[in-house]
């Protein structure tokens, strides 16, 4: 059988659909296989990110932030409003309209680029032959010169707290509560726990986060992590570290959760419980053993730096391969793979992938943390600058947090940038650009930053790397 497609992508999440669009732009004949269907049996495009991840969570984060602004902050600005109320159905309706707009947009883009959407569950066999089982159970076989696996991930479940999609939910259920729980438990104080805990906390829930590890946000720079922890505590999030959940039970419409901490057994009673303890790749049934594709012990598909598997013409991208489970990481892998298939030697810089927690203030980072540099024995310089000394942050009444820049002590090259503070994501993105261009701390010091802007904190942190920040007393003087 002749190859029907140049590129066949399995999975239409941000990794897969972006790969498909880029491949089509480069002149390839492309199809994407997607198994997710709506009530009308139409394919659901956009994957976790657009449907139950990045976008709906940010819609609720923005709505709940506006509520807090109106409730707690408007008066400081001299604006009098009567006590704001919450209309959960309206909030959820808005979130769903944004999701629909974006997923329909993806459908339009695929169509515009001539990408075929094939509905069904894809499974890779040998010689890049893909079996697609449709919603009706019928199977068809499709051959392609290149197959790109992009089947994404799903929440991890833990035996002490089985999901019942009512009282005990994963991240998807936590985007759909019909009312604000009075007391909300969250297992796992990672990215999802903090974002969705913040949503419901802002709307009035008393939120308790039970985190197994003793360190808060261990993957973040610890100075920034400690600062973030203080800010979240001030906001009312009750974060309990070193808490190992041992069981849960529904009694009289409440979730009773037991956990061990400091050798003692504790009991907490919640109205709802979110389990957010990480995600696992969707790879169990993705490739038959004769496909030649191999998995590591955690279920991730083995790939090289260019996302090529060990099988020629088979690639894997997004949440099913090593690296952070982030939409933008998967999308850029999709672009890289599409370009490599078209013969371009594109390479993604894995050292410059930003990560962000969209709380308020945001927590954002790129590159190395101070603890990583210490562990690697790299000689470094560090500069920090607090938002409390930034005019624009004071004007906005948004002064919590700081920017931190780490540079090589010998070459001055920027190795990492970290921030907890207002617009941290956008400020760190400036440093992603700087780092991609191999910038030194001095390069940033010599640039002109608009006044008054939050980005002046980046400028001042770069100046602080060499002890000459202007708007604070420097510890080291140069
Ligand atoms: P997915 O988005 O999971 O898409 C995979 C697609 O493949 C799905 O549509 C699935 O139905 C389909 N599929 C699976 N198996 C098959 C098969 N055999 N045949 C056919 N189709 C198949 N990341 C960020 O960068 N920023 C954020 O703000 C952010 N917020 C998040 C918030 C939440 C609540 C969650 C849960 C995640 C969030 N993420 C965020 C993570 C982000 O959603 C994922 O990293 C991203 O969606 C992964 O993209 P992907 O294309 O690899 O997989
Ligand atoms: P995570 O890895 O960020 O956090 C999980 C937390 O749960 C960790 O702190 C872990 O120590 C803890 N944990 C694990 N088992 C536990 C247990 N039994 N009891 C108590 N705590 C336990 O995972 P997540 O928050 O579920 O998010 C999953 C993925 O989705 C992440 O990899 C993240 O990259 C991605 N995501 C990204 C964003 C974003 O970019 N803003 C938002 C949401 C999700």
Q: Answer whether residue 93 shows pLDDT above 60.
A: yes
Q: pLDDT of 435-446, one tens digit each?
A: 999 999 999 999
Distance from residue 379's CA to the centre of ligand 1 (Å): 38
DSSP H helical segments within 377-437, as ranges? 391-396, 424-436
Which tokens go with 121?
């569950």
pTM for this predicted structure? 0.98
What residue segments make up the domains of the chain, in order of their start? Answer: 3-155+280-348, 168-277, 352-465
Mean pLDDT of 190-219: 98
Overall average pLDDT of the 131-138 stretch: 95
Q: Which numbered ligand comes closest to the C-alpha of 247?
A: 2
* 78 contacts: CB under 8 Å, gap ≥ 6: none
Per-residue pLDDT at 92 exceeds 70: yes
- For domain 3-155+280-348, give the CATH superfamily: FAD/NAD(P)-binding domain (3.50.50.60)
With both helix axes pointing from N to C terminus, report the angle between 424-436 and 456-465 in degrees, rounded to the nearest 10: 50
Instruction: Write out the two tokens for 76.
Output: 């400081």
Between the CA of 83 and the centroid of ligand 2 the distance, in Å, is: 34
Q: What is the pLDDT of residue 476?
A: 67
Per the residue annotation, which of 451, 459, 468, 471 is the catalytic one?
451
Task: Kindly report, residue by residue over 292-328, the tens digit of the pLDDT.
Answer: 999 999 999 999 999 999 999 999 999 999 999 999 9
- Report the SS3 class of residue 151: coil
- Average pLDDT estimate for 357-366: 98
**Averaged pLDDT for residues 17-24:** 98
Pairing of strands 355-357, 362-367: antiparallel
pLDDT in tens, 24-33: 999 999 999 9
Average pLDDT (137-164) is: 97
278 Cβ inside 6 Å of ligand 2: yes
Q: How far is the CA of 276 from the centre of ligand 2 (A)?
A: 6
The best mutation among 10, 12, 13 to test binding of ligand 1, ranked by most ligand atoms within 8 Å of the C-beta, falls on 13
Catalytic status, residue 451: yes
Asked if 356 and 424 touch (Cβ cutoff 8 Å), the reply is yes
Closest ligand, as measured to the CA of 319: 1
> Ligand 2 centre and the CA of 323: distance in Å?
14
Confidence of residue 467 (pLDDT cuts 50, 70, 90): very high
For residues 260 and 244, is the Cβ–Cβ distance under 8 A?
yes
Alpha-carbon dihedral 459, 462, 468, 471, rounded to 10 degrees = 40
Q: Do domains 3-155+280-348 and 352-465 have the same CATH topology?
A: no
Q: Mean pLDDT over all residues of the chain?
A: 97
Region class of 262: left (phi > 0), else alpha (psi between -120 and 50), else beta:
left
Contacts of 66 (CB under 8 A, 6+ apart): none
CATH fold of 168-277, please? FAD/NAD(P)-binding domain (3.50.50)
| CATH top class, domain 352-465 | alpha beta
pLDDT at 3: 72
Determine the pLDDT at residue 475.
77
């Amino acid at each position: 059988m002749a190859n029907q497609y140049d590129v066949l992508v399995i999975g239409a999440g941000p990794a897969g659909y972006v790969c498909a669009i880029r491949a089509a732009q480069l002149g390839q004949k492309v199809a994407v296989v997607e198994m997710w269907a709506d009530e009308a049996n139409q394919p659901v495009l956009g994957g976790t990110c657009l449907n139950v991840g990045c976008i709906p969570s940010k819609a609720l984060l923005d709505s709940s932030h506006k509520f807090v602004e109106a409730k707690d902050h408007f008066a400081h600005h001299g604006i009098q409003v009567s006590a704001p109320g919450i209309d959960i159905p309206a909030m959820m309706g808005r979130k769903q309209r944004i999701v629909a707009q974006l997923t329909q947009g993806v459908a339009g883009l695929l169509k515009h680029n001539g990408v075929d959407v094939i509905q069904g569950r894809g499974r890779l066999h040998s010689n890049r032959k893909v079996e697609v089982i449709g919603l009706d159970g019928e199977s068809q076989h499709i051959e392609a010169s290149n197959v790109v696996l992009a089947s994404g991930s799903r929440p991890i479940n833990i035996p002490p707290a089985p999901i019942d999609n009512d009282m005990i939910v994963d991240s998807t259920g936590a985007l759909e509560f019909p009312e604000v729980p009075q007391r909300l438990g969250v297992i796992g104080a990672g990215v999802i726990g903090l974002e969705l805990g913040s949503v419901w906390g802002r709307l009035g829930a008393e939120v308790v986060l039970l985190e197994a590890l003793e360190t808060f946000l261990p993957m973040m720079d610890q100075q920034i992590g400690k600062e973030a922890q203080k800010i979240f505590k001030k906001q009312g999030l009750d974060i309990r570290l070193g808490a190992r959940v041992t069981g849960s039970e529904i009694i009289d419409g409440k979730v009773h959760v037991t956990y061990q901490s400091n050798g003692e057994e504790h009991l907490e009673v919640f109205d709802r419980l979110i389990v957010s303890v990480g995600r696992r790749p969707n790879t169990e049934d993705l490739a038959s053993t004769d496909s030649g594709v191999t998995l590591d012990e955690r279920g991730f598909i083995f790939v090289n730096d260019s996302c090529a598997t060990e099988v020629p013409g088979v690639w894997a991208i997004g949440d099913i391969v090593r690296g952070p489970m982030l939409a933008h990481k998967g999308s850029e892998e999709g672009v890289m793979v599409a370009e490599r298939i078209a013969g371009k030697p594109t390479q993604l810089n894995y050292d410059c992938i930003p990560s962000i927690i969209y709380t308020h203030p945001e927590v954002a980072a790129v590159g190395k943390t101070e603890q990583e540099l210490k562990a690697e024995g790299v000689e470094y310089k560090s500069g920090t600058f607090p938002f409390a000394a930034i005019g624009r942050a004071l004007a906005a009444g948004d002064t919590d947090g700081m920017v931190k820049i780490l540079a090589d002590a010998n070459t001055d090259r920027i190795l990492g940038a970290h921030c907890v503070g207002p617009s941290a994501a956008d400020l760190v993105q400036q440093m992603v650009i700087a780092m991609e261009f191999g910038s030194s701390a001095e390069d940033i010091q010599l640039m002109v930053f608009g006044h008054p802007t939050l980005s002046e904190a980046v400028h001042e942190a770069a100046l602080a790397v060499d002890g000459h920040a202007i708007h604070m007393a420097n510890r080291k003087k140069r």
